[in-house]
Amino acid sequence: MKKIVLILFSIILITNSVFAISLFTAQDISKNYLFENEMVDSFSQPAIVCEEETFFVIPIINSGQEISFFVPVSFESGEVFLSKDSEKNISLTKTSYLLKKLSYSDTSNYLSSQLIDKIDKLISELNSKKSRLEGVIDSDYSYETKQAVTNSKNKIVNLINSLTEIKENLYVLLEKQQDFRYLPTCKKTEPLLSLFYSSFKGYSELPNKLSEYTLSVENAIKIIVSDSVLDDISKRSVLDFISVPNNLNSEINSIYNYLSSTSSFYANIKEKLTGTVGRNNMQLYIDNLGYRKNFVQVRALLYNYDPDLPKYANLDSAIKMILNSEYRLYWKNQELVDDLQSRYSILQENYAVGKISGSLNNSNNKGDDGGGGGLMEMKLIKKNVLLILGDGVEDYTSVTSPVAYFIVGSMLLLLVIVFIIYSRRKRKSSKKLSKSKKDFVKEDDFYNDDFPFN
């Protein structure tokens, strides 16, 4: 029975691995969403788990190396994900942004095991110095000397406690950060962000505590030097025990500078991701993804082969044929043709800038993909194209084109001109004939018998 269960479990694992995609596949899918001067930010990122779903979330960066948006690709299906749940989109985008920021080395971020070891080493040196101070306190010295050394011991303890707290906080932050980087989940994001401030608590007080310790030692030295009971050998011995370590000032300053820079690094990330500003920043990335996702889908609907339009290369070709000035007036459904012209013009304007959303008809309707109304608009455009083609064209015998009107009109005008010219010529001919007849009559009278000279 156990063997059967093991075999079934193995089959399930193999099946899941077959259908799962790789990081490189996800990056290739994301390339479909690129515009000019954009590129996929390729780094060895793990998949992100968010609400029991797994995604490769690919950053798209512009020419200035700034993030334009993120493309979440489903680990199981390979589909680009955009949820109707805005909170899930924000959580996934925030996790992706944090993962990217923590995955790259930054010159301002010194958080490392080396920094923690450096602090730990300094704590050990200070503890050694504290033990020496305790030795002086436990020895047979004057009350004034013991009081002065006790004060120094208290100040060095304060410094040790601050460094210890910082070291422990940094260790927790580093541990949580490494866990997040290798196994990122949306649930880990907020707890990790909360450590970005608390982990550096008290570091800004290090210079003051160093100064207090140093001043206490200087005060103890004055008291010991002025102690008339102590001989010179005893004084030198005590002074050696209580003196400030030679490298303490430089070590504290070095640690302080590292922590100051690192604290600013994490504070900037937290500011980018939290509060109203953080939410607006994430929503901008999500909106850009929505525009681009609709753009890719609209591009596919426009330019990919459509089996519903077998006589055309694609939907765009069918639209251009319908709106061609040579054929436009022949379509029976001129109302739909006008509507198609308007929608297609707006679509082209939005397509040119990649802002495909509900702006085509100022609709705020959400599609099934969580995007804007651009995809819905494309479906309506396609529906109109199919209706126009289905209704067909008017019969050629009942349709008089502008060319026909021009030809007929030209012929009529030509006939009128010919008639006028003919009429004028006829009138002139008539006048000439009448005149010639009159002349002929006069000549005939000249030879008439009744003429008196005849």
Residues 326-344 pLDDT 10s: 989 999 999 999 999 999 9
Strand-pair partners of 57: 72
Q: Per-residue pLDDT tens for 226-285?
A: 888 888 888 898 899 999 999 999 999 999 999 999 999 999 999 999 999 999 999 999
Task: Confirm whether 118 is domain-assigned.
Answer: yes
Share of the chain above pLDDT 90, in %: 63
Residues 6 or more apart whose Cβ sits within 8 Å of residue 26: 56, 58, 71, 73, 78
Same domain, 376 and 324: yes
Are 170 and 33 in contact by the 8 Å Cβ rule? The answer is no
Task: Confirm whether 32 is domain-assigned.
Answer: yes
Same domain, 117 and 201: yes
Tell which wins on pLDDT, 354 or 44: 44
332 is in which domain, residue-wise?
304-398
Provide the pLDDT for residue 349.
Answer: 84
Same domain, 233 and 324: no
CA 135 to chain CA centroid, Å, is: 63
pLDDT band at 2 (very low <50, low <70, confident <90, very high): very low
Q: Per-residue pLDDT tens for 100-117?
A: 999 988 999 999 999 999
pLDDT band at 360 (very low <50, low <70, confident <90, very high): very low
pLDDT band at 11 (very low <50, low <70, confident <90, very high): very low
Task: Confirm whether 208 is domain-assigned.
Answer: yes
CA 11 to chain CA centroid, Å, is: 38
Is residue 82 pLDDT above 50, yes or no? yes
Same domain, 132 and 35: no
Same domain, 119 and 246: yes
pLDDT band at 80 (very low <50, low <70, confident <90, very high): very high
Q: Is the pTM of this model over 0.85?
A: no
Task: Confirm whether 91 is domain-assigned.
Answer: no
C-alpha closest to that of 107 among 274, 249, 264:
264
Task: Confirm whether 102 is domain-assigned.
Answer: no
Task: Confirm whether 298 is domain-assigned.
Answer: no
Tell which wins on pLDDT, 234 or 353: 234
Task: Confirm whether 107 is domain-assigned.
Answer: no
Task: Confirm whether 285 is domain-assigned.
Answer: no
The tokens of 328 are what? Answer: 């436009």
Is residue 179 pLDDT above 50, yes or no? yes
Is residue 8 pLDDT above 50, yes or no? no
Provide the pLDDT for residue 369.
Answer: 41
**CA 362/CA 303 separation, integer angstroms:** 24
Provide the pLDDT for residue 266.
Answer: 97
CA atoms within 13 A on the CB side of 96: 28
CA atoms within 13 A on the CB side of 225: 8
Same domain, 434 and 375: no
Same domain, 389 and 421: no
Same domain, 133 and 260: yes
Largest pairwise CA distance in the chain: 194
Provide the pLDDT for residue 140.
Answer: 84
Same domain, 224 and 143: yes
Is residue 370 pLDDT above 50, yes or no? no
**CA 386/CA 379 separation, integer angstroms:** 11
What's the average model confidence in pLDDT over 188-217?
96
Judged by average pLDDT, the poorest of 102-116, 195-209, 324-338, 360-374 is 360-374
**CA 149/CA 140 separation, integer angstroms:** 13
**Average pLDDT along the chain:** 84
| Number of domains observed in the structure of the chain | 4
The tokens of 8 are what? Answer: 């079934």
Provide the pLDDT for residue 60.
Answer: 96
At 54 the three-state DSSP class reads strand
Q: Per-residue pLDDT tens for 379-429?
A: 899 999 999 999 999 875 554 555 555 665 777 787 778 778 777 776 666
- Helix and strand element counts for the chain (H, E): 14, 4
Residues 6 or more apart whose Cβ sits within 8 Å of residue 429: none
Same domain, 120 and 254: yes
Buried b (16+ CB within 10 A) or exposed e, 351-389: beeebbbbbbeeeeeebebbbbbbbbbbebbbebbeebb
Q: Given 245, 280, 315, which residue is the final one in a domain?
A: 280
Residues 6 or more apart whose Cβ sits within 8 Å of residue 380: 343
**CA 44/CA 142 separation, integer angstroms:** 66
Strand-pair partners of 49: 54, 185
Same domain, 38 and 117: no
C-alpha closest to that of 122 among 247, 28, 267:
247
Provide the pLDDT for residue 419.
Answer: 75
pLDDT band at 431 (very low <50, low <70, confident <90, very high): low
Tell which wins on pLDDT, 224 or 357: 224
Same domain, 381 and 415: no
Q: Given 66, 81, 96, which residue is the final one in a domain?
A: 81
At 369 the three-state DSSP class reads coil
